[in-house]
Amino acid sequence: MKPAPFDYFAPTTLEEVFELLNRYGGDARVIAGGQSLVPMLALRLARPEVVVDLNRVPSLSGITEEDGVLRIGAMTRQARALASDIIGTKLPLLHQGLLNVGHPPTRARGTLGGSISHADPAAETPMVMLAYGAKMVIAGSAGERTVEAAEFTLDTFETCLEDGEILKEIIVEASADEGTGFSELARRRGDFAMVSAAARIRLDADGRCAEAHLMIGAVAPVPLRCDAVADALVGTQLTERRIRDAVRLIDLNSFSFDNAEVSLAYRRHIAPTLASRALAQAVGRTGGLRT
């Protein structure tokens, strides 16, 4: 199937972008890497009157660091982030998550901001940003505003972006003294996740868990924070058994996705295993996993 007819614009400045979005309002869609929008256009699941291409706006891409705070342009390619030494060193969980995104050709075009703004519940990047407590810089003709990752994604394919706004930048505070882990189950490498899990662990000077974060993805409209699991780990010496006990506190009733390909029952069955793996990876990278 071919896309429905639309007008195409390729602005080179943010001012041009906002002028076009304000002029056409809800009839316009922005395109970043196109890995999500182009298939939707081809299937006519999306039928915008106007497509505004962000690829020629240089200020929207790039990775910078200052005082442990990373600023990542929304148009930064996934492949560039995956190859970045800064990301690999300062945000290893993002690196781990990106390894599970599609394949090299799709990562070469796909952008971080495009994935986050698309808000696919099975996507890795939104879950990683939630785990990091990232901040999203939203821009429009009226100026900029910043929201927490937890407030950015509202539902399946739905974000807090208003008409005329785009995701401009992602701000993440790096933590050098933590371990991270990522585990995902898909039918084939690069396929959409059936279930995924992302974890961050920080130990104190005595080797006890000082801070813990666990996210579960692809089971509900938005990635789920497993705070009960994290609370059960904080203040303890982390062992495989303690991790297994803690993941039993995952609220399986908050899982809602159920379909012919991956049942709700299977998601509930496999999620604790993936969560245990992600947490064990994170603890192992701190050197603090006890037997």
Instruction: Report helix, strand or coil for 198.
Output: strand
Instruction: Report helix, strand or coil for 112.
Output: helix
Nearest to 172 by CA among 85, 81, 68: 68
Go through the domains of the chain in sequence order and give each one's CATH number.
7-53 (3.30.43.10), 61-173 (3.30.465.10), 179-286 (3.30.390.50)
Helical (H) or strand (E) element with 82: helix 78-83
Separation between Cα atoms, residue 86 and residue 95, nearest integer Å? 10
> How confident is the model at residue 291, as a pLDDT?
60
Residue 195 binned pLDDT confidence (cut-offs 50, 70, 90): very high
Separation between Cα atoms, residue 189 and residue 103, nearest integer Å? 8
Is the confidence at residue 113, as pLDDT, over 80? Answer: yes
Helical (H) or strand (E) element with 158: strand 158-159
Q: What is the mean pLDDT of residues 9-36?
A: 95
> How confident is the model at residue 45, as a pLDDT?
87
Separation between Cα atoms, residue 287 and residue 282, nearest integer Å? 9
Q: Are 156 and 121 in contact (CB under 8 A)?
A: yes
Is the confidence at residue 235, as pLDDT, over 80? Answer: yes
For 135, phi then psi, to 5°, come to -115, 140
Is the confidence at residue 84, as pLDDT, over 80? Answer: yes
> How confident is the model at residue 290, as a pLDDT?
67
Separation between Cα atoms, residue 144 and residue 48, nearest integer Å? 25
What is the torsional sign of CA 54, 218, 174, 100?
negative
Q: Are 134 and 158 in contact (CB under 8 A)?
A: no
Tokens of 31: 């395109």
